[in-house]
Amino acid sequence: MSDGKKLNGSNGDGKQTFTISAFSENHIGLLNRITIIFTRRQVNIESLTVSGSALPGIHKFTIVVHDTPEKVEKVVRQIEKLVEVLKAFSHTEDEVIHQEIALYKVPTKALVEGDIIEQTIREHHARILEVRPEYTVIELTGHKEETQALFDVLNNYGLLQFTRSGRIAVTKSSKELFTSYLQEAGDNTVEYA
């Protein structure tokens, strides 16, 4: 059961982790329109990533939340109701492949003296991006638990800076739901008589 719990991110309070993806026109202020919906519904955003999608002119929002399925479904419908949003979906943890990236800046001296470089990099499948006399920058991609595990190790060596990205995700279904939708929707943002 513990594995199942971890898989859907549920803690027995009916809440679980969802990845919401929303596809929109690339317009000023849209992020604000979307976050207002979370504020009104009192849903906390765990992470948020916005970037251009595979389709020219269309932006993708990837939003991670932890809440009940009912509430998330209502939020998704409110997002999709926005005039400039083409489509919004929610996915449970077992429906997506997702990844985050983390960067760690550690004093080089501490790493060398601790004699942990090789072992740590191997164990965590991390990469070294930059080495200077003062500091070393390490990169790790993975789930939050994984980037957190490396954080816990490096924090013992005087971590200078740490940053973690929001989640990006693709669905496990072979075709993106949105692509077929867009084929019907067409390339013209607005049509006039």
Binding site for other proteins (CB under 8 A): 24-25, 28-29, 32-33, 36, 40, 73-74, 77-78, 80-81, 83-86, 185-193
190: tokens are 């607005």
- Cβ proximity of 63 and 48 under 8 Å: yes
In the bound state with other proteins, the residue whose beta carbon lies nearer, of 56 and 186, is 186
DSSP states along 95-120: GEEEEEEEEEEEEHHHHHHHT-HHHH
Give me the least distance between CB of 188 and other proteins, in Å please: 6
Give me the least distance between CB of 169 and other proteins, in Å please: 22
**CA-wise closest residue to 145 among 21, 17, 22:** 17
In the bound state with other proteins, the residue whose beta carbon lies nearer, of 58 and 150, is 58
In the bound state with other proteins, the residue whose beta carbon lies nearer, of 73 and 130, is 73
Distance CA 7, CA 1 (A): 10
**CA-wise closest residue to 98 among 168, 28, 38, 165:** 168
Give me the least distance between CB of 59 and other proteins, in Å please: 11
In the bound state with other proteins, the residue whose beta carbon lies nearer, of 52 and 158, is 52
Calculated CA dihedral for residues 75, 76, 81, 82, nearest 10 degrees: 80
In the bound state with other proteins, the residue whose beta carbon lies nearer, of 118 and 191, is 191
Give me the least distance between CB of 55 and other proteins, in Å please: 11
Give me the least distance between CB of 43 and other proteins, in Å please: 15
